[in-house]
A = this chain, B = another copy of it.
Amino acid sequence: MQPQYQMGYDRAITVFSPDGRLYQVEYAREAVKRGTTAVGIKCKDGVILLVDKRVASRLLEPESIEKIYKIDEHIGVASSGLVGDARLLVDRARVEAQINRVTYDESIDVDTLAKKICDHMQVYTQFGGARPYGTALLIAGVSEGESRLFETDPSGTLLEYKATGIGIGRAAVMKVFEEEYDPEMDVKQGVHLGLKALHAATEGKFDVTTVEIGVIEVENPVFRKMEPEEVKAFVDATEFETPAGEE
């Protein structure tokens, strides 16, 4: 995936390579792979988002490293990749949600919102004069009484997942989910699974103060970020696997 010298096919978004690839889009995905890990899990009674913020310094206010955003009453988003790009997409999503409320007097469907964001991202992969977005989003919400969980990528591709992860720890996260995900889990069980996935992705360098959790339940479809105490309670209650060779 890490190409050598691409003979210039990778210098502009308006140029296909001879084998039909858009290298600039693939490089934008690398920006996502360098980002912090975010995971999303669809449960039978709701959807959850978890991120590891990797705060480096005690001088930093941890809450300023926002990685989970509330978009509308019933939709939340987690991001990975370029921070400035993510903020722009989040703002756009919020505006789309408001336009829908004002125009149709009802909240926007989660999949409608996800498509609008992806259509916007696609434009940056076809026209020159700008670069693709170097960010991916997990979009979680409840529409018509159903949990939805979407993942976008820099190409504008949109996929719905039962459970997924983005960012530097994606491979580790997906391994945990492939083995342990159960669609019958409730939100509580989901949070435990998500924490285990984050724990795996960070190779045990897991820090309770840097975990951010967002949740929305089907019964009460209001997206909210958990308070630090609630997060702490979940972390304390989760059984993490000791990495092989440690005790």
Instruction: Give A contacts to B, CB under 8 Å.
Output: 2-3, 5-24, 27-34, 57-61, 63-65, 82-85, 87-88, 91, 115, 118-119, 121-122, 124-134, 150, 155-164, 174, 177-178, 181
Contact A128 B130 (CB under 8 A): yes
C-alpha gap A9/B8 in the complex (Å): 10
Cβ-closest chain B residue relative to A19: B30
**Given A27-B20, A87-B115, A181-B59, does the pair A13, B131 have CB atoms closer than 8 Å?**
yes
Please pick, from B65, B82, B129, the residue contacting A155 in the complex, using a CB distance under 8 A.
B82
Please pick, from B19, B27, B131, B157, the residue contacting A83 in the complex, using a CB distance under 8 A.
B157
* A136 vs chain B, min Cβ distance (A): 12
Cβ-closest chain B residue relative to A131: B14
C-alpha gap A65/B150 in the complex (Å): 11
C-alpha gap A149/B215 in the complex (Å): 29
Cβ-closest chain B residue relative to A16: B27
- A-B contacts besides A18-B23, A20-B29, 20 pairs, CB < 8 Å: A5-B7, A12-B14, A13-B14, A14-B130, A14-B131, A16-B24, A16-B27, A16-B30, A16-B132, A19-B27, A19-B34, A20-B34, A20-B134, A22-B131, A58-B178, A59-B161, A59-B162, A59-B164, A59-B177, A87-B115
Please pick, from B8, B9, B87, B157, the residue contacting A84 in the complex, using a CB distance under 8 A.
B157
C-alpha gap A100/B99 in the complex (Å): 22
Please pick, from B10, B27, B34, B61, the residue contacting A162 in the complex, using a CB distance under 8 A.
B61
Contact A57 B18 (CB under 8 A): no
Contact A17 B27 (CB under 8 A): yes
* A132 vs chain B, min Cβ distance (A): 8
Q: Which residues of B contact A126 (CB under 8 A)?
A: 85, 124, 130-131, 133
Contact A30 B34 (CB under 8 A): no
Q: Which residues of B contact A118 (CB under 8 A)?
A: 84, 87
Contact B64 A159 (CB under 8 A): yes
* A5 vs chain B, min Cβ distance (A): 7
C-alpha gap A224/B206 in the complex (Å): 42
C-alpha gap A85/B123 in the complex (Å): 9
Would you list the 3 A-B pairs with minimal beta carbon distance, nearest first? A20-B30, A84-B156, A64-B160
